[in-house]
C-alpha cells in the first residue's frame, strides 16, 4: 500500500488505497516524466552528518542520473543544508531542487497534523511551499467531518488528490530501535524517547 500518512495508525488515516502498479497508465506517466527530465539540471541538497539522509541523497542522485538528469549532489553539514532549504531562490542563486529529511511518524499520521501536505499558498508552510487550493479544500472537509463515513470519504478523496499533486514524496518508513540494560527500569513507550520516570537498580 502506498500512503502519504505514516502507517501503524488508525485505518481511517490510510485513505483506503490499494497497491500502486507500474503497468498501464502509471508506466506511461513514468516514461513521459523521464522524457521531460532528460537533459535538465537539478540540485539535490544533502548532508554527510546524518548517515540515513546521506544515503537517501546518494540513491536519489544516482537514480536521477540514470534517467538523464544532470544532477549536482551538494553535500554539506546539517546546519548549512537547513539554512539553504529555507531559500526560495533558484538553485543557481542559492536555492535547491530537492532535499531529504526524516520526521517522527505520529505527526505525519493525520491530515490535521501532517505539515508536509499543508498547501495553503501563504508561502509560510513547509519547505517547497506547496500551493494547491484543492488540497486545502479536501483537508478542511476531512477536519470538519463529524462522522466516520464522511470522514473516511474525505480522507480517500484527499489521499488520491495528494498522489496527483505530490507536495512531498515519502520514500519509506522505519522503526527506530531502542535498547537499555536490564537494571534500567521505568522506560516509557512514547513517540519520542523521554528521560523521566527512569530508574536504575
More confident residue, 12 or 88: 88
For 7, counting Cβ atoms within 10 Å of its Cβ (0-12 exposed, 13-18 middle, 19+ buried), the class is exposed
Cα torsion angle, 164, 158, 13, 177, sign: positive
pLDDT band at 194 (very low <50, low <70, confident <90, very high): confident
Please state the pTM of the whole predicted model: 0.74
Residue 13 pLDDT > 60, yes or no?
no
Q: H or E element: which one contains 36?
A: helix 25-37
The position carrying cell 529555507 is 86
Q: Determine what percent of the chain is predicted with pLDDT higher than 90.
A: 45
Residue 21 pLDDT > 70, yes or no?
no
Over residues 45-95, the pLDDT tens digits come to: 999 999 989 999 999 999 999 988 899 999 999 999 999 999 999 888 988
User: How far from the centroid of its chain's Cα atoms is residue 38's Cα?
Assistant: 24
Please state, in angstroms and rounded to a whole number, the distance separating the CA atoms of residues 170 and 71.
20
Mean pLDDT of the chain: 82
Over residues 28-44, the pLDDT tens digits come to: 555 566 666 777 888 99
Please state, in angstroms and rounded to a whole number, the distance separating the CA atoms of residues 64 and 81.
20
Q: What is the pLDDT of residue 60?
A: 92
Q: What is the pLDDT of residue 6?
A: 52
- Enter the DSSP assignment of 11: G
pLDDT band at 99 (very low <50, low <70, confident <90, very high): very high
Q: What is the pLDDT of residue 134?
A: 96
pLDDT band at 4 (very low <50, low <70, confident <90, very high): low
Locate 189 and state its grid cell. Answer: 513507550
Please state, in angstroms and rounded to a whole number, the distance separating the CA atoms of residues 65 and 59.
10
Q: What is the pLDDT of residue 2?
A: 39
Q: What is the pLDDT of residue 105?
A: 79
Mean pLDDT for 185-194 is 83
pLDDT band at 142 (very low <50, low <70, confident <90, very high): very high
Amino acid at each position: 500500500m502506498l500512503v502519504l500518512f505514516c502507517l501503524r495508525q488508525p485505518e481511517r488515516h490510510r485513505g483506503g488505497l490499494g497497491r500502486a502498479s507500474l503497468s498501464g497508465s502509471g508506466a506511461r506517466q513514468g516514461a513521459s516524466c523521464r522524457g521531460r527530465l532528460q537533459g535538465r539540471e537539478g540540485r539535490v541538497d544533502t548532508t554527510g552528518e546524518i548517515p540515513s539522509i546521506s544515503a537517501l541523497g546518494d540513491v536519489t542522485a544516482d537514480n536521477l542520473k540514470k534517467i538523464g538528469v544532470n544532477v549536482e549532489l551538494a553535500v554539506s553539514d546539517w546546519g548549512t543544508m537547513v539554512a539553504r532549504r529555507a531559500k526560495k531562490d533558484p538553485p543557481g542563486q542559492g536555492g535547491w531542487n530537492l532535499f531529504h529529511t526524516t520526521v517522527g511518524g505520529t505527526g505525519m499520521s493525520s491530515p490535521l497534523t501532517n505539515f508536509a501536505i499543508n498547501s495553503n499558498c501563504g508561502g509560510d508552510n513547509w519547505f517547497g511551499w506547496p500551493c494547491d487550493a484543492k488540497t486545502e479544500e479536501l483537508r478542511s472537509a476531512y477536519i470538519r467531518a463529524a462522522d466516520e463515513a464522511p470522514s473516511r470519504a474525505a480522507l480517500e478523496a484527499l489521499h488520491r488528490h495528494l498522489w496527483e499533486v505530490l507536495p512531498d514524496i515519502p520514500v519509506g518508513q522505519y522503526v527506530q530501535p531502542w535498547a537499555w540494560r536490564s537494571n534500567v527500569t521505568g522506560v516509557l513507550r512514547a513517540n519520542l524517547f523521554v528521560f523521566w520516570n527512569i530508574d536504575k537498580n
